[in-house]
Amino acid sequence: MSSQLNTHENAHKAALYFLKESCLSLGPHFIGSKTKKISFSLNETREMIYSLNETSSMQDLIFFLENLCFKKTSFKLNETLIQWIEGKINLQLVDYIPSPQEVLQIQSKGQRIVSLISSEKYLLLKEKLQLHHNTAYEFFLHDLHHAGKFYHTNNFHSIQCFLYRELCTIIDHPLIQNLLHRKEFKMQWDYLISDMNTHPIHQLKYFKFIFSQHCDARQWTDVLSPVFHEDSYVLDALNHLNTPEEKTAHHLTIMNWPILLNAPSF
């Protein structure tokens, strides 16, 4: 597999891998019909999935994704794959594990990386990179889960992209550069920029939390001030994050911040 495939091949290969590995990894009692359109027996369904290959139609893949649930996985993964197949979201399938900085750069451009690597290659990387997932399949599911959260809604997607673009700039701030020499902060920063597709307010809360562990929290808004063009409304809201006043500060509703309402979509 090349490092990056075209969008059509990306979606097809990922869906095929998901269906087959879910059968293989989750054992013989893994399938439950989601919409009750499947009348085949469990064994027949399993054999039909095993018979899928690179020449199988997208319609066949969508049929199984729409109608099957796999134990220990969320149906949202199926929905994310269907959106990918239908071209509604823009994901990149790669055969390596990207650095946190690469994930940040890709997300700042409105895309998300999904890693699909061989089991053998993953085992070699697992210890070297201190990966927490036991198998390549689990790591793939993890990436797919994050992809679904990245594209949760158009509004969330636009605001996440805005924050990631600004983090690309913030990383050059002298104070951040200095902090990145600290091992603990570097690990926390890498998590923030590459493994935290969540409500944008939670990203900002986490950023403030890790920053305040190493610096005076008041310096945090100094770092962010240029990002939000010294908007007093936004900066006042940021100052209330992680404080007792946070829950009563109505202006913390991030979707109402003017600068974020105008964040471009992709």
CB atoms within 10 A of CB 95: 14
pLDDT for residue 225 is more than 60: yes
pLDDT for residue 37 is more than 80: no
Q: Which helix (DSSP H) or strand (DSSP E) does residue 94 occupy?
A: strand 91-94
pLDDT for residue 70 is more than 80: yes
What average pLDDT does this structure show over 154-164? 86
Q: Which of 2-11, 121-130, 146-155 has the lowest mean pLDDT?
A: 2-11
Which pair of tokens denotes residue 210?
């890790």
Percent share of the chain, pLDDT over 90:
44
pLDDT for residue 260 is more than 70: no
Predicted pLDDT of residue 153:
85
Give the model's confidence band at 223: pLDDT under 50 very low, under 70 low, under 90 confident, else very high. Answer: confident
Which pair of tokens denotes residue 159?
């605001």
pLDDT for residue 195 is more than 70: yes
Give the model's confidence band at 2: pLDDT under 50 very low, under 70 low, under 90 confident, else very high. Answer: very low
Predicted pLDDT of residue 4:
44
Buried-exposed string 17-36: b where 16+ CB fall within 10 A, e elsewhere: bbbbbbbeeeeeebbeeeee
Classify residue 15 by burial, with Cβ atoms within 10 Å: 0-12, 13-18, 19+: buried
* CA nearest neighbour of 147 among 93, 202, 69, 203: 93
What average pLDDT does this structure show over 131-145? 92
Cβ-contact 234, 180 below 8 angstroms? no
Angle between the 119-128 and 136-150 helix axes, to the nearest 10 degrees? 80
pLDDT for residue 179 is more than 90: yes
Predicted pLDDT of residue 3:
39
Percent share of the chain, pLDDT over 70:
83
Identify residue 159 by its one-letter amino acid code.
I
Give the model's confidence band at 8: pLDDT under 50 very low, under 70 low, under 90 confident, else very high. Answer: confident
Predicted pLDDT of residue 133:
86
pLDDT for residue 92 is more than 60: yes
Cβ-contact 93, 10 below 8 angstroms? yes
pLDDT for residue 147 is more than 90: yes
Cβ-contact 93, 71 below 8 angstroms? no
Which pair of tokens denotes residue 191?
């998590």
Q: Which of 5-9, 154-158, 226-230, 232-236 has the highest mean pLDDT?
A: 154-158
Which pair of tokens denotes residue 143?
């990436």
pLDDT for residue 95 is more than 90: yes
